[in-house]
Amino acid sequence: MAGDSARPLSPLWGVPVRLASVVSVALYLACAYRIRRWGQLPARRGPTLVVANHQHDLDDLAVVSHLNLLRSWRDPVYTLSSRRQFEPGFMALRIPWLAPLLQQYNPAALFGVLGMLPIENELTTRALANVAWAVHRIAGDVALSSIFSSAALERLSVNDVRASQVFRGSHFACFQRRARLSEVHEPYRSALIRELRAQVEEDLAHAESLLRRGATMYLTPEGRATTDGRLNRFRGAYTRFAPIADVYLAAVSFDPFLGRRLSMLYRILPLHAGAAVEEALCAARPVTVSQLLAEWLGQRRSPFSAAEACAALSGRLQTLPPTLFVDPLLRRAFERVVRGALATMSRIGVLVPCDRGFTLAERRTHRSFPHVDDMIAYQARFFEQTLRAANHLHAGAQRKAPPA
């Protein structure tokens, strides 16, 4: 789609700040994680929407930093981020060892230069501190007893605190407990709801105006990372932005059972005209050894050997639809990859060594995914959804194909 892409969207002085940020992030990611990618955006493009599935904070960071580094320097790749990131206290939560210095710091100006755009995604609950801060902006330095119900205040261990104090010193941690907007007294609750509605429309309108002017925007329409492995329902931002932009997919998979560093794989590819975006995104996600092992182990409870696992996964690979993208490393060094994944699963406690080889542990968590209760079930559901989408698209393509 055409756009005024020749006109800069951001100030020139922000370029060195973004480049410094992108390069430092890229170096950190290269050391801390194992990230592999396929495909890229065209160098010359108009309004562009990059749509990604969301499992972990790393997926946003890795994809956006790479797109900025290789395909955008004058203007950033814009992202929509929670409004909580544009309020005091956010950096203190992300960098706990610097919390005393960052509790009152508002990173909104810095994030704006980096191309981050605010979007309100917490419509019913927020941290008590963020609710108090919003009331402080609207009504001044009000006592918390005037803002919150007694039920909300009972969750705190402080008294006689005012809205201006929630990001200070010892108060900071306890005010990270969450409160529902229904626990806010009038007239503040109605004022917050009015502001919330206005902010949502203002945020979406600003992002839409940037797109129309030729911006590239990265979007995770689910809003929140999946906790069970299945794609969450897309929110309204996608339906608003997609008609005015060329849509590309950033199809992300993680391979948590391979190696000591968290492994992430993703593909950048265009969304074909007429395709359902959710189904196309699921079908495009790379297939990993973690997914195949999770599917097999989810159907097996008896002990097994490494040789049995290799034989089972080798057979499974032969039955996958040809449209699926399987990790090339898995195909190229199949036995090494499978045995390496089994060793990692044993090291982190997902598998328990036994006389015959391995057995599945009762507790199957992964430290990089603290929001996931069972990583085996998570990966199995993720793969099942990918497989179902690929089969459906393959069947549809066969029905549309002209007869021989």
| DSSP line for 255-290 | -TTSSSS-EEEEEEEEPPTT--HHHHHHHHSPB-HH
pLDDT of residue 123: 80
**pLDDT value for 277:** 96
Cα separations (Å) of 180 from 33, 259, 340?
36, 41, 46
Q: How far apart are CA 52 and CA 47, in angstroms?
A: 17
CA separation for the pair 224, 80 (Å, rounded): 12
The pLDDT score that the predictor gives to residue 4 is: 46
* Predicted pLDDT of residue 398: 65
CB of 102 closer than 8 Å to CB of 65? no
Task: Provide the sign of the torsion angle of the four alpha carbons 68, 281, 125, 154, taken in this order.
Answer: negative
What's the pTM value of the predicted model, to 2 decimals?
0.88
User: CA quadruple 340, 346, 347, 349: dihedral positive or negative?
Assistant: positive
The answer to whether 247 and 268 have CB atoms below 8 angstroms apart is no
State residue 6's pLDDT score.
Answer: 55
Q: Report which residue type is found at 340.
A: G
* Predicted local confidence at residue 397, as pLDDT: 67
The terminus-to-terminus CA distance of the chain in angstroms comes to 35
Query: Which parts of the chain have pLDDT scores under 70?
Result: 1-7, 71-72, 159, 396-404
- What's the pLDDT at 404? 56
Parallel/antiparallel/unpaired status of strands 263-270 and 246-254: antiparallel
C-beta of residue 354 within 8 angstroms of C-beta of residue 366: no
- Structural contact between residues 55 and 252, judged by C-beta atoms closer than 8 angstroms: yes
